[in-house]
Amino acid sequence: MTGNPITEYEYKGALGGALFEMMNMIGCEAWCLGTMISTLASRILLKLTTIAKFPTLSANVVNDKGDYPVNNKPYVIMEKNGLKIGIIGIMSQGLYGLVNQTMLVGIRVLSPIATTQKFIDELQAKTDLIIA
């Protein structure tokens, strides 16, 4: 999300919005939050998620209330060629060592292992394949 020209300009009211518009055009079907969550204000992330015509995934990024803070959801189930595929978004807790902690106020990154297992258990009977 940073360091390239398409993300350095405001588009549709959000820095980096052009990247999400490009992702719409090429047919992206989902994206997962990464360390960019710490470099953009939550209002910008919220705007990006409204530009995206595809879901924002992150099962283990929550706010202090345990809610998903930036229109993220834990997973999606997609059907491709008759195969039901569960896709779980997960962020590494390594985020805490990569960024200034003041950028993460109000954001928690839950255990990737425990969170992934929780959603694997939920998706097991509903899918043929699970990707995290």
* Residue range of the domain that includes 32: 5-131
Give the CATH number for residue 122: 3.60.21.10
Instruction: Write the DSSP symbol of residue 21.
Output: H
Task: Provide the pLDDT confidence category of residue 96 given band limits of 50, 70 and 90.
Answer: low
CA-nearest of 52, 42, 56, 39 to 11 is 52
Q: Are 41 and 13 in contact (CB under 8 A)?
A: no
* pLDDT of 51 higher than 70: yes
- The pLDDT tens digits for 63-94 are 999 999 889 999 999 999 999 999 999 998 87
Comparing 37 with 119, the larger pLDDT belongs to: 119
At residue 74, the pLDDT reads: 98
Q: Are 40 and 15 in contact (CB under 8 A)?
A: yes
pTM: 0.87
Length of the chain: 132
At residue 15, the pLDDT reads: 86
- The pLDDT tens digits for 108-125 are 889 999 999 999 999 999
Query: What is the helix (H) or strand (E) element at residue 85, kind and residue range?
Result: strand 83-88
Distance CA 78, CA 15 (A): 29
DSSP string, 24-76: HHHT---EE--GGGGTS-HHHHHHHHHH-SS-EE-TTEEETTSS-TTSEESEE
Domain count, the chain: 1
At residue 41, the pLDDT reads: 67
Distance CA 75, CA 132 (A): 9
Mean residue pLDDT across the chain: 89
